[in-house]
Amino acid sequence: MKGRPIDFRDYALKDGMLRYDAQRISEPGGDLLDPAGARLEAQAVGQGGRQAAWYVKGEFGEGVLRHYRRGGLMARFSANRYLWLGAEQTRSFAEAELLRYMYERGLAVPRPLAAAYWRSGFTYTAALLTERIADARPLRQSLDGGHHAEVALAIFAMHEAGVWHADLNAYNILLDAQGKVWLIDFDKGRRVVLSQERRRANLLRLRRSLIKLAGDSGLQWWTELNIAYDLLSRAKGPL
């Protein structure tokens, strides 16, 4: 089932721009993405996010706010600044637009609510606000429950929509209280022509994550997932 179109609008900020969902937000402003402000009732996320993610509340309902931060070696040079290549190339706008594309096509991803960037010379900082998935747990905590076919179907649907996930791991796949599978964190993801090799690379990244986190049981779980994914691929026919 396709989702309703999202009415994104732009709102000028000091040194930047806010892109927001006008159906869910009536009062745009920079404080919409400020975890220190009283408007959001922000609570830090316990895991992940590089200490830059918060659960928030507002007129939009419950959301997850993330300020983009670097990892790895690049973080030594700049923790949160990125090279300016244009508004649509910012991490926040790119991820929000990719989420909108998937959400409007009925894929199980969080609805994007707002994205912003703040520019300074040749660099910028950025933030993204998405809808929070109620009562959701990461796949890492749900391996005993099976769900191989459901997770395989969610990944397969993403691939069929022409979307490549840059970091498909056991924390970026969620299951809610009803057992529905959700995919999150599409930073650096993109729409591409997905060859069999690209699809396999996504699945192998998840395999590495599961083995790292759960050892042999993680490998066994991924093997069942891989079988379910291959069955979907065969039913569709050659790429």
| Spatial CA neighbour of 99 closest among 204, 3, 25 | 3
Contacts of 118 (CB under 8 A, 6+ apart): 13, 14, 15, 16, 124, 125, 126
Question: Active-site residue numbers?
Answer: 167
Is the Cα torsion angle 107, 109, 110, 115 positive or negative in sign?
negative
Tokens 């964190």 -> residue: 185
3-state secondary structure of 233: helix
- For residue 162 the two structure tokens come to 């022409």
Cβ burial, residue 5 (10 Å; 0-12/13-18/19+): exposed
Contact 129/35 with Cβ under 8 angstroms?
Answer: no
- For residue 143 the two structure tokens come to 């391996």
Contact 136/185 with Cβ under 8 angstroms?
Answer: no
3-state secondary structure of 157: helix
3-state secondary structure of 85: coil
